[in-house]
Amino acid sequence: MNEYDSDCLGQQLMNYGLTATDNHEDAGLIMINTCTVRAKAQQKAFSLIGRMMTVKKRRPDIILGIMGCIAQQKGIDLLKKFPDVDLILGTREIGRISQILDRIIKGNEKIVATDLSIKSIPRERHDGYFRNRIKSYISIMEGCNNFCSYCIVPYVRGREVSRSSQEIMEEAKSLLSQGIKEITLLGQNVNSYLSAEREEITFPMLLRMLSGLNGLNRIRFTTSHPKDLSDDLINCFKELPVLCPHIHLPFQSGSDRILRMMNRGYSREQYIALITKLRDIRPDFAITSDVMVGFPGESDKDFQMTIDLIRTIEFDNLFSFKYSDRKGTFSEKMDKKVDEHEKSSRLSILQSIQKEITLKRNIKHIGKEEEVLVEGESKKGVLLTGRNETNQIVNFLGDIKLIGSLVKVFIKRAFINSLQGILNKNH
C-alpha cells in the first residue's frame, strides 16, 4: 500500500514539474513514506527521518515531509519531535500535494494535513510514469472495519471506503497503455470491496470486469481476509485465466483461543477448509500467509498449534513477525505479555521450519514447464528474472528483448528464494 501511495505521490510531483533523483543530496523535496504496523517498521522510519533531518540542517532550503501511517497517527506531535520538518501528510490527503507545496513554497508555512474522516482526495495520474515497468498496483479500497485486537490499521487508514469501479478501470487502462502487464489489486480487505455506483459491484464482479481488458496478462490481489473469502471469489480462480493461482491469506495463529483473542472471526478448522477448497482447484495453488508469535497470553501449547498448522498446510511462503504493542489497540491493554527472548526463540523455530517447507514446495516445481512474466535482468546480471504464475522468482538465460513478455521456462533447480530454468525457445 505504501509503494502504491509513493507512486501516486510521484505521479503528482511529475505533473507539478519535478523530476526524480536517486540521490537525496540532489533533492529539493524529500518525502519519507512511513509504516507503523509493527514496532520495527516504525523504528526504521524514525531512523531514516533522523538521517534526513541532518540533511535538512545542512541544506535548510529543501522541503522535508513525512507521509504514511506514522504521519497519520502522530500528526502535529511529529512536528514537536522533528521541528525542521515542513509537512506531515496523512494517508487520505496525498491528492492535495500540489496545493500544499504551493502553500509551503509561497507562504513559508508548515503544514499538517491528516484528515481521516474524508474519502481519499482523488489523485492525479501521469500517463508516462510507469513506462519502464512491467507490473504495478491499483488500490481498490482503503481502510479496515475489522479491528483485529493487535492492529493499528483501522486507526491510521480509517474505515473501509471502496473506489468506484469506473475509476479503477480507467486507472488500469492507463497502466496498460504504458506497457504494464501485471496488476495487483490492493486493499486491507479486498473481499469487502463494494462499489455503490449504479448497482452494487462486488470484488468478484470487479475481477471479471478487469479480466476482459486487452493487454492485461495477469491479475493478483492482496489482502483477503479468511472470514470473508467467498465461494464466488474462489470460483474466479477457476473462471478467469488471467487471475494467478496464488493467494495471500493471513492466518496469524494456529490456536483457536488466540484467534478469538485476536478477534479474527474464524477458527483453525475453517481456515484449513478454505485452503482445501483452493487446492482442490489445482494442487499447486500457491498459499502465502502472515503469522505472528508472542501475542499476549500465547502459551507454548498455543505456539505448538501454530507450528502444527504450518506443517499441516505447508505454505509456499510465510511472513512471520514478533507481536509488538501498538498504541491504542485492544491487545496493548491485555496482560500476560510474552517475554522478548521467548518471542525471538519462537520466531526462529518457526522460520527454520518454514524454510524447509518453502524449499520442499519449490522443489515440486522441478520438471515442470511454467509461464514466466519476464521482469528484467537478475541481480547477478547474466540471467533474466521474472515470476511464474504462483509468484516464485524464476531465473533463466535469455535475451533482454524478452523483458515484458510471457515465456515458457522449464524448471531445473529449486532454491529457497528462487527457481532456475531453461527457456523454451518455441514459446
Query: Residue numbers of the site for ligand 5AD (CB under 6 A)?
Result: 37-38, 150-151, 250, 252, 290, 292, 321, 323-324, 326
Whether 231 contacts 193, CB under 8 Å:
no
Residue 145 or 417: the one with the smaller Cβ distance to ligand SF4 is 145
* Partner from ligand SF4, ligand 5AD, none contacting 147, C-beta within 5 to 8 A by type: ligand SF4
Residue 153 or 176: the one with the smaller Cβ distance to ligand SF4 is 153
* Residue 304 DSSP one-character state: H
CB of 152 to ligand SF4, least distance (A): 8
CB of 290 to ligand 5AD, least distance (A): 3
CB of 70 to ligand SF4, least distance (A): 16
CB of 225 to ligand SF4, least distance (A): 5
CB of 37 to ligand 5AD, least distance (A): 5
Residue 146 or 164: the one with the smaller Cβ distance to ligand SF4 is 146
* Partner from ligand 5AD, ligand SF4, none contacting 321, C-beta within 5 to 8 A by type: ligand 5AD
**DSSP one-letter string for 106-118:** HH---EEE---SS
Helix%, strand%, coil% for the chain, nearest 5: 40, 20, 40
* Partner from ligand SF4, ligand 5AD, none contacting 290, C-beta within 5 to 8 A by type: ligand 5AD
Helix, strand or coil, per DSSP, at residue 331: helix
CB of 333 to ligand 5AD, least distance (A): 13
CB of 198 to ligand 5AD, least distance (A): 33
The site that binds ligand SF4 (CB under 6 A) totals a number of residues, namely: 10
* Partner from ligand SF4, ligand 5AD, none contacting 396, C-beta within 5 to 8 A by type: none
Angle ∠(204,209,210) on CA atoms, nearest 5: 95
Bridge partners of 184?
137, 220
The residue number with the shortest CB distance to ligand 5AD is 290
Residue 30 or 190: the one with the smaller Cβ distance to ligand SF4 is 190
What is the Cα–Cα distance from 222 to 228, expressed in whole angstroms? 13
CB of 348 to ligand 5AD, least distance (A): 16
Residue window 144-183: x/- pattern of binding to ligand SF4, with contact defined by CB under 6 A: x-xxx--x-xx-----------------------------
Q: Which amino acid is at 262?
A: M
CB of 298 to ligand 5AD, least distance (A): 12
Rounded alpha-carbon distances, angstroms, from residue 108 to 18, 25, 62, 111, 197: 19, 22, 12, 10, 41
Dihedral sign (CA 266, 186, 6, 376): positive
Residue linked to cell 473506489: 163
Angle ∠(266,271,275) on CA atoms, nearest 5: 155
Residue 97 or 292: the one with the smaller Cβ distance to ligand 5AD is 292
Residue 228 or 284: the one with the smaller Cβ distance to ligand SF4 is 228
Rounded alpha-carbon distances, angstroms, from residue 6 to 19, 34, 125, 402: 14, 10, 12, 28
Which cell is 180 given? 504494464
Q: Which amino acid is at 134?
A: I
Burial class (CB in 10 A: 0-12, 13-18, 19+), 180: buried
Residue linked to cell 515497468: 133
**Sites for ligand SF4 among residues 187-206 (CB under 6 A):** 188-189
* Partner from ligand 5AD, ligand SF4, none contacting 225, C-beta within 5 to 8 A by type: ligand SF4
Whether 332 contacts 326, CB under 8 Å:
yes
Residue 155 or 315: the one with the smaller Cβ distance to ligand SF4 is 155
Residues contacting 22, CB < 8 A, separation 6+: none
**Sites for ligand SF4 among residues 117-146 (CB under 6 A):** 144, 146
Residue 74 or 225: the one with the smaller Cβ distance to ligand SF4 is 225
Whether 243 contacts 219, CB under 8 Å:
yes
Residues that bind ligand SF4 (CB under 6 A): 144, 146-148, 151, 153-154, 188-189, 225
